[in-house]
Amino acid sequence: MPGVVDLPATFTTSQARRLGMHPRDLYRARDERQVVEVSRGVFRRADAPEASYPDLLAVAYRAPGAVVCLLSAAAAYDLTDELPQAVQIAVPRGAWRPRIEYPPVEVFQFDAATFELGVSTLEAAEGERVRMYSPARTVVDLMRLRRRIGEPVALIALRRYVASPGARVGQLIEVARALDVLGPVRAAVDVLDAS
């Protein structure tokens, strides 16, 4: 019979069952603090290295097809000082919208045709990556949804992105073109270049 040490650092109840652990043993391990329940049905071994982004990791296990976006991605990339009230994730329009109470989650639906554009990954814990939009896609999405998220937040993210050492303004423009927000992004970039 497998024990806690046989489980990955982060795992779901169904993964533990597939590895041969009975739910009764899993919940006993939780009660004995050998594992920590980070979200309903998602656990992390107590002896695992601390996760850099535990909320993002928990949400990624609950909604594996989703992509971390907007303020959650901007905060991870240091493009904003805003602290999101909830983990913001995107799913393709028409797809199942996950309902996750903890950690709090805000779900956005993006066009299925461009959903995978700019998908990257972020190491949320040692050796564990979550799907997240790239910095360029994040900035473009913030500009695209600036009326909902806040125009100052979008402009600050754009300014920080353009000033960052790894900035690729050409890529930013291409993503903006693909997402049909080229005009506002190009105008904002031109203003930044002029100042």
pLDDT per position as a tens digit, 3-32: 778 889 999 999 999 988 888 999 999 999
Q: Identify whether the C-beta of residue 106 lies closer than 8 Å to the C-beta of residue 87.
A: yes
60-96 burial: b if 16+ Cβ within 10 Å, else e: bbbbeebbbbbbbbbbbbebbebebeebbbbbbeebe
Q: State yes or no: pLDDT of 192 exceeds 70.
A: yes
Class of residue 163 by CB neighbours under 10 A (exposed 0-12, middle 13-18, buried 19+): exposed
pTM for this structure?
0.89
- Taking only the tens place, the pLDDT of each residue in 170-185 is 899 999 999 999 988 8
Tokens 């989703």 sit on residue: 66
Q: What is the CA radius of gyration of the chain?
A: 19
